[in-house]
Structure 1
Amino acid sequence: MTYDRYTSIIQELTASLKELEASQSQHPLIQQYINQEISDIKHALQLVEKNRFGLCEMSGEEIPFDLIKMNPTLTSLTEANDWRHYGKIHMDRYS
């Protein structure tokens, strides 16, 4: 797998991490979501370092690139399929 196509995604993740780490919310629930997103991004960047970004953590298969572009913190095909299903529901609802 070539990581060249992931370069802009990885740069975006890095920028998002810096922005989120600088964010603080007075509302505990919002801060919880910020913290979870920080954790997800850090995990994705760890996968980059291990040359495992874009691969299912369970099967090792490649997660479809279009889904990684939309949600770069996906870590499994199961999660990708759930996200794809949600996306279809969301899109049908507004068509």
Structure 2
Amino acid sequence: MNAMQEELFLELRQTQKEIENSLKNKQKPDWLTSILKEELADIDAALLKMKSGNFGLCEISGEFLPDDLLKIIPTLKSIKDSDDLEIYYKKPLH
């Protein structure tokens, strides 16, 4: 694991614990419960990839995903998933 991956690993572990605690403390499921469970599954998958040495590889092409994208979304699974993010970017005015 390189330095960036180690930092992301610690961040993912912290987020994992926070989500697990949030789910444990919920008295009844609500609209957020399914979102938290999906995010937790994505985090678990990313952590497994880190442990197996496959973190950062596109699940479709097998090529490395850009580090800049992984820093923003460490649970990114493929470059195709990143294409959907363009709709959220702020567009320049000029």
TM range (shorter): 0.7 to 0.9
Give the TM-score taking structure 1 as reference length: 0.83
Deviations 1:39-71 (A, max 9, x none): 110011111111111110111111111111011
Q: Which residue in the other structure is 1:86 paired with?
A: 87
Q: Alignment partner of 1:92: what SS?
A: coil
Q: Alignment partner of 1:54: what SS?
A: coil
Q: Which residue in the other structure is 1:7 paired with?
A: 6
Shift of 1:93: 8.1
Higher CA-based Rg: 2
Give the TM-score taking structure 2 as reference length: 0.84
* Structure 2 unmatched ranges of 5 or more: none
Q: Which residue in the other structure is 1:20 paired with?
A: 19
**Which fold has the larger relative contact order, with Cα–Cα distance below 8 Å and residues 6 or more apart in sequence?**
2
Q: Which residue in the other structure is 2:47 paired with?
A: 45
Provide the C-alpha distance between the structure 2 equivalents of 1:87 and 1:7, rounded to a whole number of angstroms. Answer: 27
* Structure 1 unmatched ranges of 5 or more: none
CA RMSD across the alignment: 2.2
Percent of matched pairs sharing the same residue: 31
Provide the C-alpha distance between the structure 2 equivalents of 1:5 and 1:55, rounded to a whole number of angstroms. Answer: 15
Q: Alignment partner of 1:72: what SS?
A: coil
